[in-house]
Structure 1
Amino acid sequence: MDCTSTPVVFVESVFNEQRIGSSRFTWSPDVSLGWIDGREVQRFRYGRYTTKDSIGLIAGGVRIHYGDADDWYRPLFVSFQPALHSGRTQALSSAYEFVSTIGWQGQHFSFQIRHISNGALHKPNRGETMALVGIALDL
């Protein structure tokens, strides 16, 4: 938020893929548990919503892939999830948020750009944008 970094941790589970009709698109249910640490941003220190609270988050939605298993672009995905979280901050000011992710999922690693905000349904609506690097486990 506002170019001020903070530690973030997410654990995700992606379930079995389902083809969408006869198209080359597939979807998978996915769930996320996350934690975003608070941070001190002076200009928000005395506002109704500060930036000090750490946020715990749970989200569930769909991950979408395109292409066949051997296509080079197959590991690319987009994901959309509604989320509930604890706390209120300048970035996440309502109890619910929307999580949008674009990423690459290899066999053992993933790289994602994720944005979380309430879609301007409540002010302030600064949102959190993050780069995530992950380790994939096949359980």
Structure 2
Amino acid sequence: MLAAPLAAQAASPIDVGVGVSATRENETTVVATAAWMPEWRRTAHGVLRWELGAIYVRARDNTRFDLDEDVGVVHGGARYERDNGFTAGFGVGAQIGQTDALSGNPQFVSTIGWRWQRFSLLARHISNASIKQPNDGETMLVAAWRFR
């Protein structure tokens, strides 16, 4: 009986995604994401989940901005998924690496999108909310697949 909650957590969904991110003057790059999302509580029309994840932002070459370093952001927060597919979330994270777009901790990760069973299309934004300048942030479109 004591192992049942641990087994339920182990069966929690994992979302893995790839996409494109843009920053100042539409300088784009490839991004990859992964998130472990155990259920926190069910509501009348959806589910609230914890979200523990990581986002990788690939470096950009030949730009006039300092974007030539890979950056990773490890974050934790919550995501709400309505039964109709709408999803929204917010989290706080720490970055590894630094560019003009992601220039200091903490980083805030916001998510909005739509989920169709195992597939999600998400708009995400990472920014430090002007705590440290420059603060261009990264805005991305990510296609994700859910594994259970």
TM-score by length of 1: 0.81
Is the 1:88–1:95 Cα contact (8 Å) retained in structure 2?
no
After TM superposition, the structure 1 = structure 2 runs for residues 1-139 of structure 1, keeping only pairs within 5 Å, are 1-2=23-24, 3-19=26-42, 24=45, 26-44=47-65, 50-66=66-82, 69=83, 74-138=84-148
Select the structure that is richer in helix. 2
Gap regions ≥5 residues in structure 2: 1-22
4+ residue runs of structure 1 moved beyond 6 angstroms? none
Q: Measure the CA separation in 1 of the matches of 2:63 and 2:111.
A: 29
5+ residue gaps, structure 1? 45-49
State, as a whole percentage, how many aligned pairs show the same letter.
30
How far apart in 2 are the matches of 1:25 and 1:75?
9
Higher relative contact order (CA 8 A, sep 6+): 2
Conservation of the 8 A alpha-carbon contact between 1:101 and 1:114: yes
Q: Supply the RMSD in Å over aligned alpha carbons.
A: 1.7
Asked whether the 8 Å contact 2:52–2:77 carries over to 1, the reply is yes
Q: Distance in 2 between matches of 1:13 and 1:103?
A: 17
Q: How far is the alpha carbon of 1:95 from its aligned partner? A: 2.7
